[in-house]
Chains A and B, each alone.
Chain A
Amino acid sequence: MSTSALATAHAPRREDAPRREAPRRPLRVVEAPARRRRPRLLYGIVAVLGAVAIGAAQMSLSILTTQSSYELSSLTSQQRDLTYQKQILYDEVAGLASPQYLAANAAALGMVIDESPTYLRLSDSAVLGTSAMSFGRSSVDAIGRGTVPNALIADTPLVTHPDATIQGAPVETVEESGTGGIVNTPPPITDGLPTPSTH
């Protein structure tokens, strides 16, 4: 409702004003109003169905939301478990990639850190450097007198020498995981390196 509506309501009245002095017309019976048409049943059905459909849609959406919130909850807890597993695995391998561990393992195999390097230049096959080797003498003693401690692997036995640690000391027995304690022992390799079986 606005001014335009009011304006249209007033407009004819002003036109009528001069006619007021005109002689009155004789009265006459108004025609009977047209019988109101019966509302069609279809509209009603559509409206009811629409309401029912909306209600159903809302309910199903709500059910789906609740459903997925349970699903979400279970996935979250699954994710949490996997995160725990990841952390446990990370803790187990922590320190195994450290230079101390690698060097001590190599030294336990009898490998040595050689003195001066020798290079082979591919372009003219020239041998650069001394080309001499020092057999059996390592420039540092990585296992006999390790001077770079690492608390993460202090009691971890070497892969190449399961009776020794990076300090060369005998392994302290660590309690198995069943009864508690941290186990960071790499699994023993009995049949060589694991290989995939192919047909």
Chain B
Amino acid sequence: MTTKSTRSPRRRTVVALAVVLAVLAGFVVRLVDIQVVNAREHVAQSIATALGSSVPLYGTRGAIIDETGQVLAGSVLRYDCQLDPLLITQIDQDIAAEKSRAEPWQEVSADIAAITGQPVEDVHEIVADALAENANSRYALLIRGMSTQQYRELADIGAPYLRCFQHPARSYPDGAVAGNLVGFMGTDAVPLEGLELTEDSCLEATNGTLDYQQGNDGVVIPGTAREVPPENGGTLQLTINRDLQWYLQQLIGEQAQNMGAVSGAILVAEVGTGKIRAAAEWPTVDPNDVAATDPDDRGSRIFRSQFEPGSTFKALTAATVIDAGGQTPTSTVIASSQETFANGARVRDAFAHPAYVYTLAGVLIDSSNAGISRFSETVDAQTRHDYFQRFGIGAGSAVGFQGEASGQLHPVAQWDNQTVYNTSYGQGLTTTMPELASAYAAIANDGVRVPLSIVESCTTADGTVVTPELPKSTRVVSESTSAQMRAILENVAIQANYSRAIEIPGYRIAVKTGTGEKSNGTGGYKAGAYYTTMIGFAPAEDPEYVVVVTMDEPSKVASSAANATAFQKAMTQVLKTYRVMPSTTAPEELPKFG
């Protein structure tokens, strides 16, 4: 039998144990509550109330590099410096009361101004203005964008009222080279223009933070540092070749000035791949000093302007009539310098001549409007419209540049009697430089149109390479048509009246000019002002590169001959840059007249 004496100690043990367990359970619950359930709040609270500090960790914005890996846009650190006007006045009062041995503001400000490069009066004014607005002002922006050297020198002054904050900024080591494509950033690190803006998702860095607690002496208390690491942006590689881009920008700058043009541009595309190797224009913004460039010149005219092409479209019409109209380079028409057509349309040539029996090659060599109009009658207007469309006219390019323009190709139903013929020689419609380059690349590339591209790839911080998706290549004309067109355009290069000016010794080239008229804004054409184009590819027997040179309103020579020197030098440099071997075969000469 269990007696009271034997039972009570056991019960006591059980009760004591239960109490201990209950207390323990209570502690465990509270511990889980503190350490797990509400951990974040408590940590935040401790950091907020204790000596916690937090500094942003800036990720580096990705670089923009060229085809060969040369940096076109990189990241640097800049410093924005600010003053504490109230503290300045207090310290000056202390000095006056002989309580402080610090240097007076008059002297310190002179040192500061010498480093920042501002006049001393400006520095004084910044402080005076801030105090005038608010006598207790504690913030006045001194200057933005100090270099590291300047920042270190300012820090060495050791003035308690001068503080600088670092922020990432952009630097463009090559200045205006490809400035039209790369674009630029605003002072607040916001991308404003060009690829900096459109490829921001690749380039953008994610900032992190470093939270820690520090002791009185500024040393981080061990175990309190918590770092959220920043993520760097990706590296954007372009198809552009930097050295070629520089040469062509220098060249078009000189040539456009020589010809008294408003602006000029050169576009180079690789025939087989559609990669744009250079897109040079004058004027071009220097992204290091955006303010120095007129706001109208800060973008890319190559991608944003459309123009009436003129005679360069004769090659597209010729390709159409060969491909769909059964014509050959030696097919003939009879055309005089002024022709009247059955529907009443009248077409004139740029020079007077009697009725010639022109071959198709001859029509392009002499750039006869009347001749190409006669040839255009071998196919119907709808077919020509569809071929223009297949050449990519009016569709823009696959580049998708920010604000990219596309040409205007009206439906056939809107073509009046005159437009039916005008379109065969590039009037009554507009196009863009990329569209034109892409169409000629298709003629050169055995009839296959490869979409143009300017971005090679984006390599993210973890090394993943992302290549942009491009539309598929499409066949525009047959291989045989392409070969016949190459022969015709090569004969233009060797037989046209400007052939001497564009000759590249050792190489066979193909070329066509165009002189587009400019709208005067009221439905008519601007008198004496033209948009001149010269487009061609080389080597003619196995084309590798297409080069387009345009000038807006050249005034010294107001025709497409203005572009000849620029084209010849540009094409020579392209062939040199890519080590294209000189031709070893001779061109076959086509007859001009039948």
Contact = CB atoms under 8 A, between A and B. Distances in A.
Interface of A: 1, 65-66, 68-70, 72-73, 84, 87-88, 90-91, 94-95, 97-100, 103, 113, 115-119, 128-130, 132, 139-142, 145-153, 177, 179-183
Closest 5 CB pairs of A and B: A150-B175, A147-B253, A151-B289, A99-B246, A87-B148
A100 B175 contact: yes
Given A119-B581, A149-B292, A139 B76 contact: no
Interface string B7-42: 000000100010000000000000000000000000
Given A98-B177, A152-B175, A153-B175, A90 B76 contact: yes
Contacts, number: 147
B286 interface: yes
Contacts of B13: 1
Given A88-B148, A115-B572, A128-B506, A139 B175 contact: no
A88 B149 contact: yes
Contacts of A100: 174-175, 177, 246, 250
A103 B246 contact: yes
B186 interface: no
Given A98-B173, A139-B569, A139-B572, A180 B115 contact: yes
Given A88-B148, A117-B576, A180-B115, 20 more contacts: A68-B222, A84-B148, A87-B77, A88-B147, A95-B174, A99-B247, A100-B250, A113-B247, A119-B581, A140-B247, A145-B257, A147-B252, A149-B176, A149-B289, A150-B176, A151-B175, A152-B175, A177-B149, A180-B150, A183-B149
A63 to B, nearest CB: 11
Q: How large is the interface on B (under 10, 10 to 19, 20 to 34, 35 or more residues)?
A: 35 or more
Contact of B220 (A72, A142, A146, A181): A72
Interface string B169-194: 00111111100000000000000000
A181 B148 contact: no
A198 B249 CA distance: 46
Given A146-B250, A147-B282, A148-B246, A66 B177 contact: no
Nearest to B70: A97
A115 B253 CA distance: 18
Contact of A1 (B17, B173, B218, B257): B17
Nearest to B13: A1
A140 B569 contact: yes
B183 to A, nearest CB: 16
Contacts of A179: 114
Interface in B277-312: 282, 284, 286, 288-289, 292
Nearest to B580: A117
A128 B581 contact: yes
A23 B147 CA distance: 109
B500 interface: no
B222 A148 contact: no
B254 A141 contact: yes
25 contacts: A73-B218, A88-B147, A88-B148, A88-B149, A95-B173, A95-B174, A98-B174, A99-B177, A99-B242, A100-B174, A113-B247, A116-B506, A116-B507, A128-B581, A129-B506, A139-B572, A145-B253, A146-B250, A147-B282, A148-B253, A148-B284, A149-B292, A150-B286, A151-B286, A151-B292
B505 interface: yes
Contacts of A153: 175
Nearest to B584: A128
Given A94-B173, A148-B246, A69 B257 contact: no
Contact of A116 (B292, B505, B584): B505
Nearest to B577: A117
Contact of B251 (A70, A116, A119, A140): A140
B73 to A, nearest CB: 12
Contact of B150 (A129, A141, A182): A182
Interface string B230-251: 0000000000001100110111
A130 B505 contact: yes
Nearest to A145: B254
A82 to B, nearest CB: 12
Contacts of A129: 505-506, 582
A146 B257 CA distance: 12
A128 B288 CA distance: 42
Nearest to B154: A180
Contacts of A145: 253-254, 257
Contacts of A99: 174, 177, 242-243, 246-247
Contact of B575 (A69, A117, A118): A117
B246 A149 contact: no
Contacts of B254: 140-141, 145, 147
B504 interface: yes
B152 A84 contact: yes
B473 interface: no
Contacts of A88: 147-149, 152
Given A87-B76, A129-B582, A182 B505 contact: no
B241 to A, nearest CB: 11
Interface in B93-149: 114-117, 147-149
B53 interface: no
B300 to A, nearest CB: 15
A142 B150 contact: no
Nearest to B249: A148
Contacts of B579: 119
A134 to B, nearest CB: 11
A128 B506 CA distance: 8
Contact of B582 (A65, A70, A91, A128): A128
B573 interface: yes
A146 B253 CA distance: 8
